[in-house]
Amino acid sequence: MAPAPDIVVGIDIGQTCSVCCFTEILTLVDGCIQGVSYSLGPDWSEPRSLNRWPCRDGTEKADKVATRVGYDRRSGNLVHWGFETVFGDPEVIVREQFKLNVDQEYEDDRCIHYRDARRWYTDYLRCLHREIQNFFDSSVPRWRERRIEYNFSTPTTWNNPAMIASIEGLIKAAGFADTSKHTVRMSLTEAEAAAIEASSTQYRPGDIFLICDAGGGTTDVNLLEVKAVGRKLELEPLDHVEGVSIDPLSLAEEMLRGKFETLKHSFPNPVADEFWLDVKGLSGDQTFSVAGIANSKMYINRQILKDAFDRQLDKVFELIDSRFAILIHEFPGKHMSHIILSGGLGSSPYLFEQVKLRYQTGGTSPDRSSTPLTVMRVLEPQLAVVRGLVRERTQQLSVDMSTSGDVFAIRRSRNSYGVIVRVPYDESKHSRLPWITDPKDQSRWIENFVDWFIRQGQVIKPDEGVQRAYSATIPAGAQHSLRHVHIVMSTLPSHQLPTLASQHGCKTVALVHYRLTENDMKLKGRQLWFRKKFWKADFTFVTKFGPADLKFQILGRQGVLSSDHDQIEVAFMEASNLKVGDNSAAPSVYQSSAASELSMGSK
């Protein structure tokens, strides 16, 4: 077991846009662990924010730093980052709003290639890491001798563990794991982290609340029940966390900047019929009457601004309504007591008033019970995620056993996960599925069958994981060969899951390589249909679910976790790792002889 960290760092990389500037935020907590003390007591101290960042004029004091990088137009070299990067410099190309584009499956009108976005993302992280080092050098004595753990949030829309594993690799490449004492942890989703910070207020056990973390690129919702409060917080999810990509108020691509961030946080105040906003990249006093630009400022009518907000609010309402529907149908005796807003857009008075009107005072809430519902905001919406990251981790690390433990004792799976197996053909169940004939005994089997061992929304105990028994027939002499398990996933509802790996909605997540020992096998004698002796292996495949990752174990016979099973290698597979072709069109990875080497059932 790895030693506990001495310093926990929470990092939330935000999506910067012209309308809502959601930026990287860093929160630090120092603690007393194994005799190395930085805080004043044996417990972890309250989260504190790093609030001084380099800029063109020296240092800017802010709880956040812009997610931007600037490259020299001629050489292509990185020259600025964060607040140092300003618009209007003809020698510098500014890159921003790239956080969501690091996902291969994300698409927007800008058509940014994910490889470019990942290069900008890595450069930004490298600059951020350097600034963290500068902070520690000037603030924390002998910090290089201490163990540091960097906890990164993940957007709820990043639901593919293979993609998250790739991002973790970028983070490490940027320097966050450059020594053996520095580790990276892909931590909670943004909605989960925000919920923890929101729960630091005095809620009571039994309260059910919905956290709505509305940001510049995504809006996430999480429906939770408070199980315990005080120094040991415990929350229980009533459904899987959900998120959608939200266009940054549709005005981001109109090159607006400057005052719009202020307007976003203060709208509908001040009450005015028109606004003049600085145009990004337009220096001097330039006027283009046709475009509504005067003195390098663009005229925006109040109604246009309101319409932009309302289009995004409709998406937020749709998400919230879906959680009400789940609560009403699956938990008929329970009622929501609070809707809590967080995130940059969550700090908007306009969003707050509209959500309050719809669900608290307007009589249009989907929940028709008499239970009063209150719409609230976290105290500092833009800091909710990073503070939640730190609170969750430090509760786990607390030296006081009465306050230590997981905030989420159970989780609900965001996706469905399965293993590719071969199963005996049963005409009563499989009449419409293709089958093959085994030449050894003329038995019929279905290849590339997906055994869905976890389904979306299913309750998971992180410490136990999910276990599934499988068997394999291994020729004599091949018992020490490397074997493979194909892990697939689907984001489709449970009742729409594909049966075969080649069908629509099934994505490859990982290829797990493992070796069994002879202790896991029995040597079988010759059969009439099989001239040589063979090994029959029976074992249990275990999947453990972290907040944003997957881990695997092999249990041998009698459920023994042997040290021989430690050498499991996992190759996470994004779309770029597969051969050309759509997952829905039976990619060749499924056609390998190893794809269905596991069996369920026998004849």
Q: Which two tokens stand for residue 249?
A: 């108020």
208-214 and 338-342 beta bridge pairing: parallel
- Do the strands 92-96 and 25-30 form a parallel or antiparallel pair, or are they unpaired? unpaired
- The answer to whether residue 257 scores a pLDDT higher than 60 is no
Please list, in sequence order, all residues whose beta carbon lies within 8 angstroms of the beta carbon of residue 514, skipping any fewer than 6 positions away: 482, 483, 484, 485, 554, 565, 567, 568, 569
CA distance 483 to 362: 60
Q: Is the pLDDT of residue 460 over 70?
A: yes
- 501 versus 379: which is more confidently predicted? 501
Q: What is the CA radius of gyration of the chain?
A: 27
Who's near 437: CB < 8 A, 6+ residues apart? 443, 444, 445
Segment among 376-380, 507-511, 592-596 with least mean pLDDT: 592-596
Residue 453: predicted pLDDT: 93
CA dist., res. 597 & res. 603, Å (int):
16
Which range is least confidently modeled, 171-175, 272-276, 290-294, 467-471? 272-276
At 440, the amino acid letter reads K
Mean pLDDT within 33-48? 40
- Amino acid (1-letter code) at residue 158: W
Q: Does domain 7-203+382-397 have CATH number 3.30.420.40?
A: yes
Residue-wise pLDDT for 11-29, tens only, equals 988 764 322 222 234 455 5
- Cis? peptide before 268, omega within 30° of 0: yes
Question: Residue 585's pLDDT is what?
Answer: 30
Say whether 598 sits in a helix, a strand or coil: coil
How do 550-555 and 534-545 pair as beta strands?
Answer: antiparallel
pLDDT at 269: 54
Reply yes or no on whether the pLDDT at 389 is more than 60. yes
Residue 123 pLDDT grade (very low, low, confident, very high; cuts 50, 70, 90): very high
Q: d(Cα 149, Cα 303) in Å, to the nearest integer?
A: 47
Q: Which residue has the higher pLDDT, 416 or 58?
A: 416
> Tokens 């997957």 correspond to what residue?
550
Contact 12, 190 (CB under 8 A): yes
Number of Cβ within 10 Å of residue 163's Cβ equals 21
Amino acid 308 reads A
Burial class (CB in 10 A: 0-12, 13-18, 19+), 202: exposed
For residue range 60-98, list pLDDT tens digits in order: 777 788 889 999 999 999 999 988 988 778 899 999 888
Residue whose tokens read 């709003």: 97
The model's pTM is 0.82
Residues in the chain: 603
As to burial, measured by CB atoms within 10 angstroms (0-12 exposed, 13-18 middle, 19+ buried), residue 526 is exposed
pLDDT tens, residue by residue, 392-441: 888 888 767 666 788 998 999 999 999 999 888 888 888 888 989 877 77
Q: What does the mean pLDDT of the chain come to?
A: 78
* Share above pLDDT 90 across residues of the chain, in percent, rounded to a whole number: 28
pLDDT exceeds 60 at position 35: no
Domain boundaries, the chain: 7-203+382-397, 234-378, 411-591
Coil, strand or helix at 456: coil
Does the pLDDT at position 484 exceed 50? yes
How would residue 339 be classed by pLDDT, with cut points 50, 70 and 90? very high
The H helix count followed by the E strand count for the chain is: 8, 31
Q: Which residue has the higher pLDDT, 133 or 574?
A: 133
pLDDT for 600 equals 66
Q: Where are the beta strands (DSSP E) in 178-316?
A: 182-189, 208-214, 218-228, 234-237, 242-245, 274-278, 293-294, 297-301
| Sign, Cα dihedral of 373, 378, 381, 383 | negative
DSSP 119-152: HHHHHHHHHHHHHHHHHHHHHSTTGGGS-EEEEE
Q: Which of 279-293, 309-323, 349-363 has the lowest mean pLDDT?
A: 279-293
Max mean pLDDT among 21-30, 338-347, 376-385, 448-457 falls in 448-457
Other C-beta atoms lying within 10 Å of the C-beta of residue 54 = 18
Q: Which amino acid is at 570?
A: V
* Contact in structure between 409 and 461 (CB atoms under 8 Å): yes
Instruction: pLDDT band for 173, please (50, 70, 90 cuts).
Output: very high
Q: Which residues contact 187 (CB under 8 A, 6 or more apart)?
A: 10, 151, 152, 153, 154, 193, 389, 392, 393, 547, 548
Letter string b/e over residues 538-547, b meaning 16 or more CB atoms within 10 A of that residue's CB: ebbbbbbbeb
| Overall average pLDDT of the 572-601 stretch | 49
- pLDDT for res 258: 40
What are the Cα distances from residue 247, in Å, to 168, 261, 275?
Answer: 25, 15, 21
Lowest mean pLDDT among 146-155, 273-282, 407-416: 273-282
SS3 472: strand
C-alpha 117/C-alpha 99 separation (Å) is 7
Cβ pair 10, 386 in contact under 8 A: yes
* % residues pLDDT > 70 (the chain): 77
Q: State whether residue 539 is helix, strand or coil.
A: strand
> Which is higher by pLDDT, 581 or 552?
552
Q: So what's the pLDDT on residue 253? A: 40
Q: Please determine, for residue 157, whether its predicted confidence score (pLDDT) is greater than 60.
A: yes
Cα-based distances in Å from 94 to 80, 109, 247, 262, 516: 9, 18, 20, 21, 52
Beta bridge partners of 534: 475, 524
- Alpha helices (H) along 199-267: 259-266
The first and second tokens of residue 26, run together, are: 């860093």
Cα distance between residue 455 and residue 468, in whole Å: 14
Q: Which two tokens stand for residue 299?
A: 């005229």
The angle that helices 161-171 and 114-139 make with each other, rounded to 10 degrees, is 50
Query: Using 50, 70 and 90 to split pLDDT, how confident is the model at 271?
Result: low
Best-predicted range by mean pLDDT (69-78, 239-248, 569-578): 69-78
CA 580 vs. chain centroid, Å, equals 26
What pLDDT is stored for residue 20 in this prediction? 24
Coil, helix or strand for 463?
Answer: coil
Find the range with the poorest average confidence among 80-94, 316-330, 497-511, 546-560.
546-560
Q: How many CB atoms lie within 10 A of CB 115?
A: 11
For residues 22 and 344, is the Cβ–Cβ distance under 8 A? yes
* Residue scoring higher pLDDT (44 or 167): 167
Residues 484, 418: contact at Cβ < 8 Å? no
Secondary structure letter of residue 83 according to DSSP? B
Place of tokens 């603030």: 139
